[in-house]
Amino acid sequence: MVAHTPIGPVDATKVPRYAGLGTFARLPQIDAVPDYDIAVVGVPFDGGTSFRPGARFGPSAIREASRLLRPGYHVELDCTPVESAQIVDAGDIACTPYDNQEAVAQIERAADEFVGKDKTVIALGGDHTIALPLLRSTAKVHGPVALLHFDAHLDTWDTYFDQPITHGTMFRRAFEEGLLIEDRSMHVGIRGPVYDQDDFLRDHEFGFQIIRSTDLDEIGVPAAIQRVKDRIGQTPVYLSIDIDVLDPAFAPGTGTPEMGGLHSRELLRMLRGLSGLNIVGADVVEVAPAYDHADTTALAAATVVFDIMGLIANRQTAAVSEPGEYAVVSS
**Domain contains 248:** yes
- CATH number for the domain that contains residue 211: 3.40.800.10
Peptide bond into 261 cis (omega under 30): no
**Domain contains 17:** no
Across the beta sheet with 209-212, the strand order is: 87-92, 38-43, 120-125, 279-285, 237-242, 146-150, 186-190, 209-212
**Domain contains 228:** yes
**Domain contains 293:** yes
pTM: 0.94
**Domain contains 13:** no
Q: Which domain holds residue 76?
A: 24-321
**Domain contains 14:** no
Q: How many domains does the chain have?
A: 1
CA–CA gap between residue 8 and residue 105 (Å, rounded):
32
**Domain contains 3:** no
**Domain contains 28:** yes
Distance of CA 240 to the CA centre of its chain: 4
Per-residue pLDDT tens digits of the chain, which is 331 residues long: 787 799 999 989 889 999 988 999 999 999 999 999 999 999 999 999 999 999 999 999 999 999 999 988 999 999 999 999 999 999 999 999 999 999 999 999 999 999 999 999 999 999 999 999 999 999 999 999 999 999 999 999 999 999 999 999 999 999 999 999 989 999 999 998 888 888 887 888 888 999 999 999 999 999 999 999 999 999 999 999 999 999 999 999 999 999 999 999 999 999 999 999 999 999 999 999 999 989 999 999 999 999 999 999 988 766 655 444 433 333 3
